[in-house]
Amino acid sequence: MAIDGVGWDWSYMANKGEDHALVADAEASTKFALMANTKSKELEELKLEKDGLDGKLAGLLKASKNLDNLIESQRSDKVKEEVG
């Protein structure tokens, strides 16, 4: 199908030997392949983002555990002072 500057050029439809179903299937296949490729790239980007967030979460969990240990050690020191 071509565009003649004003509207669609449907003259290709007059060609009896051309199989328009095959043309449509080829166009659909190309569009599907492009869509699949785009989705694949989006999936890869999301995986990278997830990996980054997983790393940040691991860091936050470690920091939280370190803070818990620090607080617990300060409590132990305070108890030792009261008892001793």
pLDDT at 32: 82
Q: DSSP strand E in 1-84: where?
A: 2-3, 8-9
**Conformation bin of residue 24: beta by default, left when phi > 0, alpha when psi is -120 to 50:** alpha
pLDDT at 78: 73
Give the structural domain span for 7: 2-83
pLDDT at 14: 62
Which whole-number Å values give the CA distances from 40 to 28, 37, 74, in the listed order? Answer: 18, 5, 51
- How sure is the predictor about 84, in pLDDT bands with cuts at 50, 70 and 90? low
How many domains is the chain partitioned into structurally?
1
Per residue in 8-55, pLDDT (tens digit) is: 666 666 666 665 555 567 777 888 888 888 999 999 999 999 999 999
